[in-house]
Amino acid sequence: MWRGSQFKETKLIILVDVGNSRIKLCELNNEDINAPFNSTTADADAALRIISVSKPSQVLVSAVSDEQFCERLQQLCKSEQIIFRRLGTASCNTNIQIGYQRPEQLGVDRWMAVIGAQELFPNKNLLVVDAGTATTFDLLSADNRHLGGWITPGINMMISALYRNTTQVRGAITTPDSLSFADNTSDNVNHGCWSMTVGAIQFAKIQAQQLGVAVDLIVLTGGNGEALLPHITSDAYYEEKLIFIGMAKCIDLNR
Ligand SMILES: Nc1ncnc2c1ncn2[C@@H]1O[C@H](COP(=O)(O)OP(=O)(O)O)[C@@H](O)[C@H]1O
Ligand SMILES: CC(C)(COP(=O)(O)O)[C@@H](O)C(=O)NCCC(=O)O
Ligand SMILES: [K+]
């Protein structure tokens, strides 16, 4: 459960991750990052209220969506004399060599996830998968080279696109335990779309191998990351706070 931090005296930093579906907040207190508070992007007011009540010294933002929320947040920080910092992919000092031709084009959330993964598992070949609104794949080599990645529709986006664009394909959106071949429409869709993502993860490993970067570990995050874990047959780790770990690292690196 989220607790405001009005009683703490240490310098509190609030980390904010603005995705295409949800806004998430974490408190960074010294080294500790607490469990994220999630709100739908529709409930931006709740996120702003928390920041107002918590009275942090600084707010650090990683945003790939909702410019209107970011502007409101910046205004709030200005009026409450809170330092406001917005991270950019190209502006965080790190020893990771970025794999994009134009670094600023890579979503800052992906870059924070890569930095977070390196922090957790240094000197390993990592496949970082963020299964959110979109599912992103980023390859990080043990010698700190980001080797690019993929963007696919997120699992829920695939499922809802199928329902929206067909007449007879109707059903629910579920988080299946099994991805077996199914005997009804709804399970066909859900098992199929989850399998698309599991299959892409397996094929990403083959791609990495062909680059000479055999994946040591798959690092999962995002709203569907934990539910993907049991379907992955190779070494995999789920970290809800991956983006926040990356953001906290950026603070360290830029002190
Ligand atoms: N408890 C949950 N609340 C909201 N979305 C969830 C939840 N569990 C799984 N999801 C799925 O995760 C996706 C959102 O993931 P998230 O990582 O928060 O996205 P983003 O960073 O793009 O805002 C949605 O497609 C949603 O269906
Ligand atoms: C790919 C994304 C939409 C993923 O966002 P999310 O699913 O976390 O909301 C986001 O990282 C983004 O807008 N990236 C910019 C394009 C790129 O990374 O190449
Ligand atoms: K994502």
* Together in a domain, 76 and 128: no
Quick check: is 106 in a domain? no
Q: Which residue has its alpha carbon closest to ligand 1 atom 4?
A: 223
Residue ranges making up the domain that contains 44: 12-86
Q: What is the mean pLDDT of the chain?
A: 94
Binding-site positions:
17-24, 100, 107-110, 130, 133, 185
Query: Does 221 sit in the ligand 2 pocket, CB within 6 Å?
Result: no
* Together in a domain, 135 and 245: yes
Active site includes 138? Answer: no
Domain count, the chain: 2
* ipTM (interface predicted TM): 0.97
* Together in a domain, 220 and 128: yes
* Token pair 């070494």: residue: 235
Query: Counting Cβ atoms within 10 Å, is residue 180 exposed (0-12), middle (13-18) or buried (19+)?
Result: exposed
Pocket test for ligand 1, best of 15, 18, 20, 22 (most atoms within 8 A of CB): 22
* Together in a domain, 128 and 200: yes
* Together in a domain, 238 and 123: yes
CA–CA gap between residue 16 and residue 19 (Å, rounded) = 10
CA–CA gap between residue 28 and residue 30 (Å, rounded) = 6
52-74: pLDDT as tens digits: 999 999 999 999 999 999 999 99
- The number of the ligand nearest the C-alpha atom of 175 reads 1
* The domain boundary residue, chosen from 71, 86, 101: 86
152-186: pLDDT as tens digits: 999 999 999 999 999 999 999 999 999 999 999 99
> Could you tell me the distance, in angstroms and rounded to a whole number, from the CA of residue 219 to the centre of ligand 1?
17
* Together in a domain, 127 and 81: no
Active-site option among 109, 138, 183, 216: 109
